Structure formats: structure tokens, C-alpha cells
């Protein structure tokens, strides 16, 4: 595994800003008030070709009115325990705080390398502020400005020397799973149930998770990246700037996942917002699985599950290919069965179909149900090929692509699903007009419309 570096410190000292600076990203939410970061946020970083994982933690406070203070304390301690190196960040503008002493006393009990970094030192003329911090009994201090990049390179030069040697993982390709849903439907509880540890904060207060948090697990020899996301509310209910950023990050998580686990609170029932979230996943081309969570709280009879499935299929017709499973993250009911579905969806999501097989499927589909005429002329399908996977995308060359009715395009999609075994994944068909030269393997065919043209599939 990559070496792990944890950033610890009081609230609002610039931990997330430093995280973004070192990872060269905007993965950590930054705002000008304390307590923005609650969960541990992981990101990949590299300096002078040395790779490591950086962990942003919540602000460490012993006593705080925030009901999450105790859990944040636990998360910080666990991040320090997991880390190979710890960065303790201090605030160069506010000076020394009694809370700094509390954290230093904890850090002195660890045998791991600790780098004491004073942030918000914007230039050499501000370095006089370091003298106060030497009263903490620290031998070496690093002065930096995470916001203005002052002193960062010198600090990182020393940091990478302290890192253990990185041995790349030998795992196969990791399957990305984004856990999405409305606030308080049990997303974090589900990941905690999968991982078997209190990796993420869990609370019955909606909006607990703000950042998109990554966790990696290995099950039956396969590696999975679990991305916990903030609950996605309706736009009309999003008022705070911070919450808007959280929702944007949740939607961005869909862009980097392979399969979206859409968590629905079965006890509350299927809502319009659940379907909207499913639509976000569909638009981004993710594989999708519906998880009806809190099934242990639902009053059931012999047809309860069937009623839920029918309601979901009716409300989310665009995702009629997505599997549905009833679970309980709290009791662990059917949680282990999720990964069997994930593997089935992913195998189809990454599937490629040979050009010959694809054209035979389309030829049979067109012979079975020919397209309607366009201004008295036949629609001719000349050739089809798969251009990409994840999700499978196919390009068909047609003489009049704009004239192909959406219902006929949907018919061809269903025929490919049925014959190619793609019944659990999204797929796309793109229609293009015949132009220029088309390459069949390594052989170039002459332009359609000349004497030596490719015979259409439907002739």
C-alpha cells in the first residue's frame, strides 16, 4: 500500500487547504468557519515521484458544543493510528492555543514521525510568528502558507524522506462504487456494515456526511472502492453554501464510479427525490443497483417486496435494467449479497462485443422489425461497431440518422440487451450518417454512395 500521511490540528487552521494544495485537487471542502471537515478524507499525492496517501481529518477539540465532537475525536485518533507519518498543523495568525498542547501530548505518545507545520505564514517577514510556537517544546517547525504555496516545496522535500518505501498494490482493477441517496437513508451505515468498522460518522441528523469519502475493501479476491457521499436534497431545500458544495461533490463522485448504489429508505417509501438521484446516475452512464434499506422496519406480507419493485419500476422506467435488492444496513440483512450483484453489473458494464457478432444481432433485429420509411425512402443501416465500454456504446451508420424514431432506437437497444446478455447495464446507441471512408478492421472500404459500397444490413 501507499504510505499514509494524516493531517491533524485544531479547527480552521487550514488542514483542508493544505490537503488540496498537496494533492493538487479540490477534493476537500474549504470554507471560512470551523468544523467543515468531519470525516476523514483520503486523497492521492505525489512529490518528486514519491507517491503517498494524504488524509484530511476533522478539527480536534476536547470540549465543544458540536454534538459531533466526540466522534471527530475518535476519527482523528484513528487516522493517526492508521498513518505512517503525521502532520500537525498550527495556525500562524491566531498563535498558540491550549488545544495545541492537548494534541501535542497525544502525538508525543506515538513513535511515528510527526511534522509540526505552522500555516498562514505568507512570507519571510511573517516568520517572526514562529517564536511563540517554540514554547511548545518543539525542536523543528516548518513555516508554510497552504493558500499561497509558500514553503510547501521545502516541507515536502523533508516529508517524503520520512515515508516508508511504497510497494504498489498487486490487486486487480478496483471497482468503484458510489453510495448515493437522500440524507439519512443509511449510506454511511451501509459502508460501515461492509467494512466491519466505524470508518464513517453515523448519526440520525440529516447531512452528517459532507465530503465524498473513499474506502477500499477486498472481498473474495476482488477490490472495491466505496465512495460515501453527502445526501442529495431537492434544490429548493439547499440553502447553505457549504451544503451546495457537498451535493456537487456527490454528483462528481458519480463521474468516477463504475456502479452507483442508490440507497432508498424503504420505511419512508420511494420518493420523487429518490428517482431524481437515480436520474443523475443514469445521465452519467453508471451501472446502477437499487438498495431498499431499512427493510427490517417495513411491515411485510407475502406481496410487500413485489409491490415495492413494481412501484420502483414504474417510477424509474429509465432504469428498468437496474437490479433491486432489499437490505438492512443496521442488521446486515442481505448486505453480503450486494457484491454478487455488483460483479454481475460490472461484468456487463465493461463488456465488449465483437463487430461481427454485433452486426449479426442488428441484422436479425432489423429483419424481424424493419424501420419505417422516411419521405418515401428506406432507412438503411450499413454498419455498426462498439466504440467504448463502461458503459457499452455502439455506433450505427445510417443513411438518415435523424429520421430514426426514438422508439425504434429503443427497440434496437432492447434487442442488443437480449442477445448479448446486457440486461443489467446501461448502454448507448449513437446513430451517424455515412460519410468518408469506413475502416473494417485493417481494411479500408470505399465511400458509401459510390459503386463499391457496403451493402446495408437491412437489404
Q: In this predicted model, which residue has the larger pLDDT, 252 or 286? A: 286
In a domain, residue 167? The reply is no
What is the CATH classification number for the domain harbouring 236? 3.40.50.300
Considering the domain architecture, whether residues 18 and 128 belong to the same structural domain is answered as yes
User: How confident is the model over 357-374, as pLDDT tens digits?
Assistant: 999 999 999 999 999 888
- Reading the block at residue 242, the C-alpha cell is 457549504
Considering the domain architecture, whether residues 343 and 362 belong to the same structural domain is answered as no
Domain total in the chain: 3
Average pLDDT over residues 150-176: 81
DSSP string, 368-409: HSPPPPBTTB---EEEEEEEETTTTEEEEEESSGGGS-HHHH
In a domain, residue 145? The reply is yes
Q: Is the pLDDT of residue 210 over 50?
A: no
Q: In this predicted model, which residue has the larger pLDDT, 381 or 441? A: 381
Q: Are 228 and 209 in contact (CB under 8 A)?
A: yes
In a domain, residue 11? The reply is yes
Nearest to residue 287, comparing CAs of 385, 182, 177?
177
What is the CATH classification number for the domain harbouring 437? 3.30.300.20
Considering the domain architecture, whether residues 343 and 439 belong to the same structural domain is answered as no
Considering the domain architecture, whether residues 374 and 324 belong to the same structural domain is answered as no
Q: Last residue of a domain, which of 162, 191, 214? A: 162
Report the alpha-carbon distance of residue 385 to residue 326 in Å, rounded.
37
Q: Last residue of a domain, which of 286, 314, 349? A: 349
User: How confident is the model over 370-386, as pLDDT tens digits?
Assistant: 998 888 888 889 989 99
Q: Residue 453 has what pLDDT?
A: 54
Q: Last residue of a domain, which of 300, 334, 349? A: 349
SS3 assignment, position 296 = helix
Q: Residue 67 has what pLDDT?
A: 47
Considering the domain architecture, whether residues 306 and 197 belong to the same structural domain is answered as yes
Give the per-residue SS3 of 266-290.
Answer: CCCCCCHHHHHHHHHHHHCCCEEEE
The parent domain of residue 295 ranges over 175-349
Q: In this predicted model, which residue has the larger pLDDT, 211 or 312? A: 312
Q: Are 115 and 155 in contact (CB under 8 A)?
A: yes
In a domain, residue 168? The reply is no
Q: Residue 199 has what pLDDT?
A: 54
Amino acid at each position: 500500500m501507499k504510505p499514509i500521511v494524516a493531517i491533524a490540528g485544531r479547527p480552521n487552521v487550514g488542514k483542508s487547504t493544505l490537503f488540496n494544495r498537496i494533492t493538487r485537487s479540490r477534493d476537500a471542502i474549504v470554507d471560512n468557519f470551523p468544523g467543515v471537515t468531519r470525516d476523514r478524507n483520503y486523497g492521492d499525492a505525489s512529490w518528486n515521484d514519491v507517491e503517498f496517501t494524504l488524509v484530511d481529518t476533522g478539527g480536534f477539540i476536547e470540549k465543544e458544543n458540536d454534538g459531533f465532537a466526540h466522534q471527530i475525536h475518535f476519527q482523528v485518533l484513528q487516522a493517526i493510528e492508521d498513518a505512517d507519518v503525521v502532520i500537525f498543523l498550527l495556525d500562524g495568525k491566531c498563535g498558540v492555543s491550549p488545544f495545541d498542547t492537548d494534541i501535542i501530548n497525544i502525538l508525543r505518545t506515538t513513535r511515528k514521525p510527526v511534522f509540526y507545520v505552522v500555516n498562514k505564514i505568507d512570507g519571510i517577514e511573517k516568520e517572526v510568528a514562529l517564536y511563540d510556537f517554540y514554547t511548545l517544546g518543539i525542536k523543528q517547525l516548518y513555516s508554510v502558507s497552504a493558500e499561497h504555496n509558500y514553503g510547501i516545496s521545502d516541507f515536502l522535500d523533508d516529508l517524503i524522506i520520512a515515508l516508508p518505501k511504497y510497494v504498489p498494490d498487486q490487486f486487480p482493477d478496483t471497482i468503484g462504487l458510489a453510495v448515493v441517496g437522500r440524507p439519512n437513508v443509511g449510506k454511511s451505515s451501509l459502508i460501515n456494515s461492509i467494512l466491519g468498522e466505524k470508518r464513517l460518522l453515523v448519526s440520525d441528523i440529516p447531512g452528517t456526511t459532507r465530503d465524498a469519502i473513499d474506502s477500499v475493501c477486498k472481498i473474495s479476491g476482488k477490490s472495491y472502492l466505496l465512495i460515501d457521499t453527502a445526501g442529495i436534497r431537492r434544490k429548493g431545500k439547499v440553502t447553505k453554501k457549504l451544503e451546495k458544495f457537498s451535493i456537487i461533490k456527490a454528483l462528481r463522485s458519480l463521474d468516477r464510479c463504475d456502479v452507483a448504489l442508490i440507497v432508498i429508505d424503504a420505511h419512508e417509501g420511494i420518493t420523487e427525490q429518490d428517482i431524481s438521484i437515480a436520474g443523475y446516475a443514469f445521465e452519467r452512464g453508471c451501472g446502477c443497483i437499487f438498495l431498499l434499506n431499512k427493510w427490517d422496519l417495513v411491515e411485510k406480507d407475502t406481496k410487500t417486496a413485489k409491490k415495492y419493485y413494481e412501484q420502483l419500476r414504474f417510477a424509474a422506467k429509465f432504469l428498468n435494467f437496474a437490479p433491486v435488492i432489499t437490505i438492512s444496513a443496521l442488521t446486515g440483512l442481505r448486505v453480503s449479497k450486494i457484491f454478487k450483484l455488483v460483479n454481475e453489473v460490472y461484468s456487463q458494464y465493461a463488456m465488449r462485443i465483437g463487430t461481427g457478432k454485433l452486426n449479426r444481432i442488428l441484422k436479425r433485429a432489423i429483419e424481424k422489425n424493419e424501420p419505417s420509411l422516411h419521405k418515401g425512402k428506406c432507412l438503411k443501416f450499413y454498419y455498426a461497431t462498439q466504440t467504448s465500454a463502461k458503459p457499452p456504446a455502439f455506433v450505427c451508420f445510417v443513411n438518415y440518422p435523424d429520421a430514426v424514431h426514438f422508439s425504434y432506437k429503443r427497440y434496437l437497444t432492447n434487442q442488443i440487451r437480449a442477445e448479448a446478455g446486457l440486461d443489467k447495464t446501461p448502454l448507448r446507441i449513437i446513430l451517424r450518417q455515412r460519410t468518408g471512408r469506413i475502416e473494417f478492421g485493417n481494411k479500408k472500404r470505399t465511400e458509401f454512395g459510390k459503386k463499391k459500397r457496403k451493402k446495408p444490413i437491412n437489404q
